[in-house]
Structure 1
Amino acid sequence: MEYTSLNNGVRIPVVGYGTWQVSPQEAYTSVRSALDAGYRHIDTAAAYENEAEVGQAIADSGIRREEVFLTTKLWNAVRGYEETLQAAKESMEKLRVEYLDLYLIHWPNPAPHRHRWKEANAESWKAMEELHESGAIRAIGISNFEVRHIETLLESAKVVPHVNQIRLFAGEQQRQLVAYCRNKGMVTEAYSPLGVGGILSNELIERIAEETKRTPAQVALRYNLQKGHVVLPKSVHRARMEENLRLFDFELDREQMIRLDALPNTISATRNPDEVPF
């Protein structure tokens, strides 16, 4: 496994196991399989409703807590200083851990707080900053935030987010947002790096897979790694979990990267965070 460093020195594995749309019933077995396969970075969220199963899987794995980089997220229903302190505490209890490696605000402008999202985010961020300062959370960040949301947060923030987790895949690169995050020192994490599976049958990706003697998934993930993103693929199948980790014994050449850079988004448009109905 390779690592990158956040702007506070915390090291994060560049490939993580995502648990979005992994049911509570599947989560325990899937996370145990992922850990057995070699993953040391697990990404969950309060909204996924599988934190308890994820935590149990980590506890039962026999792997030392400090060897697993664990992320969870604050859900949209929760905003405010005290409310965020309580939500983080509840997530840690469900996950059976005494600290989190990374805690993210899941969406910037949720429906329940749309009338005052700027103030709501500032209140929650203050709580997260204090949890970070106390050592309860090693790094704090955001997810699905666009430039306008980040700039608003930074008006009151003492700590610049360490991470922005956003939708990124070959065909959906969000170049302006990524450049802004890099300029601010944030690591970008790619969720849905396989385009929810939709890009695996893309003709260009299949062609490059043949050229490199790799699978389409490996090409798609390697592309994101070479763009400098942490990737969070998800699969409940052990063979694919292992395949998604085998990314460090090959590189895409410059010409292949240029061809992939030119791909259009043929999957679906990324949601406008100001219009999500949740």
Structure 2
Amino acid sequence: MSAVVRDGVEDLEIGLLLEALFRRYHYDFRSYARASIKRRLVQARDQLGFSSISALQDSLLHEPTTLSRLLGYLTVQVSEMFRDPSYFRALREKVLPHLRTYPSLKVWVAGCSHGEELYSLAILFREEGLEERTIFYATDINPAALQAAEAGVYPLDQVKKFTANHQKSGGRSSLSDYYTADYGRAIFDKSLRSRVVFSDHSLVTDAVFGEMHLISCRNVLIYFDRALQDRAIGLLRDSLARKGFLGLGSKESLRFSAHAAAFLEFSREDKIYQRQDA
């Protein structure tokens, strides 16, 4: 079989598997950037020991345990606490002075992965005296990621990087105040999640579920195609309170979105936007 024909067959297999995943389990990856999805599915096929994408699909349909294993490859779980410290410094110095004027706050971490960004925001809000008036919503489509986020346990060798990021973000305390070290792990204080709601939510298929003052959705949209990006940005817009804030990842932008006119560039260099009045 020629390489061109083989690639064509593989692309067909991928399309069928994504359709099966949606119809069987209601996880919709059909509009994710295809090159990225293909790379991750090929990795899953090889590392999970299947001879083809079709064999992986067969297992997915008939062996429900395959789903959780596959989701680990399809959802990106790479993050760190206070990632891109300048973003958190901008929140601290530019956004929180606005949020401080509200008697109560709602913050949504969309695509929370293993929770690093959630704990970063919880610590930031505690340091700035806003934690007690804030409810945090942490959502992801991967149940295993949500479970890890709720546990708040990270390899101790990552904490040096977390600590440096925290200080660069303008941290007002020591990160060590918020965790205990045990057998090579950093276990973050459960009080940091006392005001957190963990929930399954998909930007692809689910609807608005609240009115937020701040939404942090970073390094999620880059994995969507243009149509799905517009769908997600529309959902994020509709989830924001009047003059609410939206934070995106360093490689993400609203510039070419159909919903760009609904936002002001509040801090261009830090990819923080503010919803405009209707």
> Looking at CA atoms only, which structure, 1 or 2, has the larger radius of gyration?
2
TM-score clears 0.5: no
TM-score, scaled to structure 2: 0.33
Please identify which structure carries the higher strand content.
2
TM-score, scaled to structure 1: 0.33
Please identify which structure carries the higher helix content.
2
